[in-house]
Amino acid sequence: MTTLDTGIPLFVLGQGTDPHSERGVDCPGELPPASDPDLVARAVKAKATLGDRLFVLGHHYQRDEVIQFADVTGDSFKLARDAAARPEAEYIVFCGVHFMAESADILTGDDQRVILPDMAAGCSMADMATFDQVEEAWDVLTDLGLADVTVPITYMNSSADIKAFCGRGGGAVCTSSNARRALTWAFEQGEKVLFLPDQHLGRNTAVLEMGFSLDDCVVYNPHRPNGGLTDQQLRDAKMILWRGHCSVHGRFTADCVDEVRARIPGVNVLVHPECRHDVVTKADQVGSTEYIIKTLEAAPAGSAWAVGTELNLVKRLAAAHPDKTVTFLDRTVCYCSTMNRIDLPHLVWALESLVEGQVVNQITVDPETTSWAKLALDRMLALP
């Protein structure tokens, strides 16, 4: 437990047995209370004081109270490019989750500091693939003589050392907006892909966009010997999918799609590719957060949409398109709890600390990891 200076105890996900605990989630100094009516004015003032020295990035899943202060918003691919395109900014405040801030640190200059306003803003999917587990899996493939023909591809939602592993192993990073292009590139380099850590993005892309069959895919469980697979299964597979998933998108079910179609005749179902395969198969369209936003912008007035992605974004889309019906695909799925950790008190605290000359919650990736991870990220950024 930790407390804000209101004395109200707060449960912090990153403490205790949670994997984020090693990041150290206690904020040094004093956070302003969430009830402070001056928070907006304080954020405006701190931003104005810092001027061009500061660049604030906001992922589409961030809260409204935070996103209003973002200089740019985007999906994880766009934000990685935006961070890399601002060499003059001394401070990059990343309103998103830990792996995104790491990627920003990797892609920005040594003199630039990347700040994550709350260190507990991790990603449960990224935590499902640790470096040791992935090395162990690679050893299994090496013993079978398969490592030489396997290209490791990791989703952006992974730690920097997993990205570095892929860079070192001749592979690349991908995001939900370029997974097909990354996989096409990978199959030009080798015969198989080890896809980390999101099994759903890997399966959905391979089967629905590239013509592979479900039988071409196997799921490697890092908690079982040999990934829970026979040697023959590993030899036959084209796509070796890591057993990871998003705890938010994984909650949408095929029943949600049936239910919304029955409730709203003519509704278009639009989902993120982190959703399960049966959900994506039943949907009308699938794409990254940026794709979802653009699709709704282009949709005709009067059309109806059920969107299967994080709730902050869906609520903003509904507010932005009063001429269309925009509804959440499932009534019980909620916010991404780690994205939501970045709130206005944490943002104000980070900005005001910078004004005082104190860099808090800096995300730093060591030089060796940076160089290999950058190779994997650069391969992604160079995809046609």
Given the rule CB under 6 A, which residues bind ligand SF4? 97, 123-125, 157, 246-248, 274, 310, 336, 338-339
Shortest Cβ 146–ligand SF4 spacing (Å): 28
Check binding of 289 to ligand 13P (CB under 6 A): yes
C-beta of 150 vs 178, nearer to ligand SF4: 178
**Greatest CA span in the chain, whole angstroms?**
63
Check binding of 338 to ligand 13P (CB under 6 A): no
**Pick from 62, 73, 112, 175: which binds ligand 13P (CB under 6 A)?**
175
Shortest Cβ 160–ligand 13P spacing (Å): 16
Size, binding site for ligand 13P by CB under 6 A: 10
Q: How far apart are CA 98 and CA 138, in angstroms?
A: 25
Residue found under tokens 């069959």: 213
Q: How far apart are CA 1 and CA 338, in angstroms?
A: 16
The listed partner (ligand SF4, ligand 13P, none) that binds 289, CB under 5 to 8 Å by sort, is ligand 13P
Check binding of 102 to ligand 13P (CB under 6 A): no
C-beta of 75 vs 82, nearer to ligand 13P: 75
Shortest Cβ 94–ligand 13P spacing (Å): 13
The listed partner (ligand 13P, ligand SF4, none) that binds 338, CB under 5 to 8 Å by sort, is ligand SF4
C-beta of 227 vs 308, nearer to ligand 13P: 308
- Considering only the stretches 29-37, 71-79, 129-137, 138-146, report the one whose residues sit in contact with ligand 13P under the rule CB under 6 A: 71-79
Asked whether 379 and 172 are in contact (CB, 8 A), the reply is: yes
How far, in Å, are 92, 172, 239 from residue 163 at the CA level?
21, 7, 18
Instruction: Count the neighbouring beta carbons within 10 Å of the beta carbon of residue 220.
Output: 26
Q: How far apart are CA 285 and CA 279, in angstroms?
A: 11
Percent of the chain as helix, strand, coil, to the nearest 5: 45, 15, 40
Asked whether 140 and 221 are in contact (CB, 8 A), the reply is: no
- Considering only the stretches 42-50, 70-78, 218-226, 314-322, report the one whose residues sit in contact with ligand 13P under the rule CB under 6 A: 70-78
3-state secondary structure 296-334: HHHCCCCCEEEEECCHHHHHHHHHHCCCCEEEECCCCCC
The crossing angle, in degrees rounded to 10, of helices 160-168 and 367-381 is 70
The listed partner (ligand 13P, ligand SF4, none) that binds 175, CB under 5 to 8 Å by sort, is ligand 13P
- Considering only the stretches 25-33, 73-81, 188-196, 209-217, report the one whose residues sit in contact with ligand 13P under the rule CB under 6 A: 73-81
Asked whether 140 and 234 are in contact (CB, 8 A), the reply is: yes
The binding track of 110-149 with respect to ligand 13P, each residue x by CB under 6 A or -, is ----------------------------------------
Query: Given the rule CB under 6 A, which residues bind ligand 13P?
Result: 75-77, 157, 175-176, 246, 274, 288-289
